[in-house]
Structure 1
């Protein structure tokens, strides 16, 4: 199997002059202040409070890094590293406590105004995500993204956001990682709300979420872009899917896996033809019929919807961490509950020789990053790519050489794609600025460039070795540590 790049040779090219280097966080993971200053309840508040046993250390995001009160210190950390942009998300429930736009929380507006203004004062570009998994609980009680009315409710929320912050924010993301919201949160139980409705609920969730993205894009494009002159898109995550063997069956399985993993959300927006990947439109109806369903479990877009959704991007947001090996499963018995995994007819795993992180799902496979970026160019054309998350987990070490090594290898792999394969990557955000609430992992697995003492009421921040390493990379505009 072809491998791009090597572990021993780092790319010595400089980042282009217009390339942006930054870092990222998400509201629920860092803000805390879960019920202060008018904020409403969201699904992660409910999930962690009612099912503490599902969180590895039984923790919550109630206080988290307390960034609601310590945002000035966080901006100072970024300034010291020299980052050019900060990708953060807004808490829908902090802005609209009920989820609906009839009630706007002035303290929520004030908090994000203060953060945005301070970033700009420090020459840090805000890249703002409207939604990072934290659906307002009152809307979830009405079905969340399985309810088609969420398309309208999200558009209402987006309007409030653009009206209040769009004069200063010029880079927008509608959604972060729809796969986690829909496939893992609705289809599975690995994320809130944990409905375990794979093969039905996750398809319905994704269908409405993609339409909500398009509505927000067209709203911005028509009513706000003429005056605010910003850019807007969506961030989608995926591992690279490498064939388990050189067999034709496994090569096709790897393509199928990335179609069901990434193309599901990306093709309707970024592919020249729009709509869901052809393989999904073929396999899901076939299996649905065999299972006894009267119609496909995969909803269909109308021709008008395909046209409305297609092209609703100014760049492609990408989150990437690791690689999987994939093999073909030619026949899956028609029994039990339906699922997306059964529909895709694939099985995936890690090569045991790949270097590990503290999280079982994350192995260090930098050449997979290069291959993914090249694949994106071939599938979607020369679209500008913003890498909005990439990072490494450990157990909280201050001298985090594993993370330093990960950044060296992955930044090199990204430069390989840019210089050797002419992939149009425009920005890179290291995940994450600070150790934070890592969803089901609680505070066990850490991704931060800065250590946060979760036992300290003041949530003391301490720079790690990776923060200093990243500072040197940003200052030199090239990978630090090349002999």
Structure 2
């Protein structure tokens, strides 16, 4: 779950959203998996307990509290490290098929490097968690890297900016496959590389806060893809035969709705999608960077007097290594924007946005979520699913994050219920009308968490967490009951008798 800007909205503006769209009342297909999610850095807390090392987000938040909206840090978060049994019961009560969680790299190897033995207490924590989930019939979907790089790797060689990270991540991935392979059938290598690279090493808005627009973000992108590919091949060659699991990378994207039917606005939409999802998706699914990304960055680099493109080339060997490293396609989707053709930004502006070069905005009439950059427009979900189907040859698709934040934490969160209903209805439309091969949906988030730059100001859970309570009490919101009903009935109709096959 990411952050782009802080813009306060009132609860009233959220509750004013009441969809008039027709709700699809089909049952979800028999093989369709419904789940909930969260990530280690956002809920575990216990930031320096039981041998865990410091991460870039620990350093970022605690060294610069003024960079976090409410000056908070992930030191305690939702305290799931100590309350994991309660959280597992919470997942069980919702009746979902799977729970997406992440492993904190620094709990396994405190400094990030593969040492002789992984941290035993960290290993025990995840083994207990994973085995408990499976004992209750809940499938774990495990992410190896959800933004929380061990700080030592950043200090020693620049983290994701250095090719050294590729083999170090591969070593960590192999250890996790060895330790937890018997409990895990769904593996995610890396979550949202765009946020890791553009926000972490481009604009510098995220940890580790490196400002290198149009340069660092692309170096990071190459290293992330190579790290993912090596981890995939390790699983494929060494563990797949025994564990029969699946491996993928999670990529996030908005939908970019063309402002008009003009060809130039449609091209602006496609360009935005290729820079946002395609930058990471195209090398994995089709091979190499998207053509429009290569062409634009190379052209703007040349016009700026550079001898080579700011986008590092992928060699034939690297293209071969990365291509095909997926068992299904993952998409994190929250919001849509509108786009139109725009003037060409000055070549001296090397930012990611300038490289895309479109006019991008949120229509005023679309309701906004609690982080400001949320524009609630459910048709964008269906349109994005169709774009993924058409662009990547109709792969199996799993939605690995989707949800809505607010700034109040109200238990009467009808706005969140409306959001889930309408976005899931568009998912069903994509399945039954458009023949999209969508096989899973994961709601973000099951409980309120530490939302990166917005801290505890942005609340996105179906269970409220009282962050002023040392016990971090969990309290179900209205949306928790609604989502439990969906998981139970396998349908969006209020009356199960109205569900249709």
- In the superposition, the TM-score normalised over structure 1's length comes to 0.97
Corresponding residue for 2:367? 355
Shift of 1:358: 1.9
CA contact (8 A) 2:23 2:493 kept: no
Shift of 1:329: 2.1
Q: Superposition pairs for residues 93-112 of structure 1, below 5 Å?
A: 93-102=106-115, 103-112=117-126
Shift of 1:281: 1.1
Corresponding residue for 1:60? 73
Corresponding residue for 1:248? 263
Instruction: Render the CA deviation track for 1:408-453: whole Å, top value 9, x for unaligned.
Output: 0000011111110000111111100110000111011111010000
> What CA distance in whole angstroms lies between the structure 1 residues aligned with 2:319 and 2:393?
19
Shift of 1:481: 2.6
Q: Superposition pairs for residues 60-139 of structure 1, below 5 Å?
A: 60-102=73-115, 103-139=117-153
Corresponding residue for 1:299? 312
Instruction: Render the CA deviation track for 1:216-242: whole Å, top value 9, x for unaligned.
Output: 000000011111110000110000011
**Pick aligned residue for 2:282 from 250, 254, 267:** 267
Instruction: Render the CA deviation track for 1:347-392: whole Å, top value 9, x for unaligned.
Output: 2101100122222100110000000000000000121111010000
Q: Superposition pairs for residues 67-466 of structure 1, below 5 Å?
A: 67-102=80-115, 103-141=117-155, 142-271=157-286, 274-335=287-348, 337-394=349-406, 395-466=408-479
CA contact (8 A) 2:301 2:347 kept: no
> What CA distance in whole angstroms lies between the structure 1 residues aligned with 2:369 and 2:281?
28
**SS in structure 1 of the partner of residue 306 of structure 2:** coil
CA contact (8 A) 2:23 2:421 kept: yes
Corresponding residue for 2:11? none
**SS in structure 2 of the partner of residue 22 of structure 1:** strand
Which consecutive aligned stretches of 4+ in structure 1 deviate over 4 angstroms post-superposition?
Answer: none
- In the superposition, the TM-score normalised over structure 2's length comes to 0.93
CA contact (8 A) 1:145 1:209 kept: yes
CA contact (8 A) 1:408 1:480 kept: no
Shift of 1:292: 1.5
Shift of 1:480: 3.8
> What CA distance in whole angstroms lies between the structure 2 residues aligned with 1:323 and 1:375?
14
**SS in structure 2 of the partner of residue 305 of structure 1:** helix
**C-alpha spacing 1:152/1:290, structure 2 compared with 1 (3 Å):** same
- State the aligned residue count: 475
Corresponding residue for 1:3? none
**SS in structure 1 of the partner of residue 475 of structure 2:** strand
> What CA distance in whole angstroms lies between the structure 2 residues aligned with 1:439 and 1:38?
23
**SS in structure 1 of the partner of residue 416 of structure 2:** helix
Corresponding residue for 1:16? 29
> What CA distance in whole angstroms lies between the structure 1 residues aligned with 2:143 and 2:448?
19
| 1:40 to 2:47 alignment | no
Shift of 1:331: 2.0
> What CA distance in whole angstroms lies between the structure 1 residues aligned with 2:339 and 2:198?
18
> What CA distance in whole angstroms lies between the structure 2 residues aligned with 1:431 and 1:333?
38
Shift of 1:185: 1.0
> What CA distance in whole angstroms lies between the structure 1 residues aligned with 2:230 and 2:52?
25
Deviates more, 1:412-421 or 1:99-108: 99-108
> What CA distance in whole angstroms lies between the structure 2 residues aligned with 1:355 and 1:224?
46
**SS in structure 1 of the partner of residue 239 of structure 2:** helix
Indicate the RMSD between aligned Cα atoms, in angstroms.
1.1
CA contact (8 A) 1:7 1:409 kept: no
Shift of 1:472: 0.5
**SS in structure 2 of the partner of residue 32 of structure 1:** coil
CA contact (8 A) 1:434 1:450 kept: yes
> What CA distance in whole angstroms lies between the structure 2 residues aligned with 1:265 and 1:211?
11
> What CA distance in whole angstroms lies between the structure 1 residues aligned with 2:180 and 2:366?
43
The structure, 1 or 2, with the larger RCO (C-alpha pairs under 8 Å, 6+ apart) is 2
Shift of 1:189: 2.5
Shift of 1:330: 3.4
> What CA distance in whole angstroms lies between the structure 2 residues aligned with 1:53 and 1:174?
31
Instruction: Render the CA deviation track for 1:276-328: whole Å, top value 9, x for unaligned.
Output: 00001111111001112111000011112111111100001110001011122
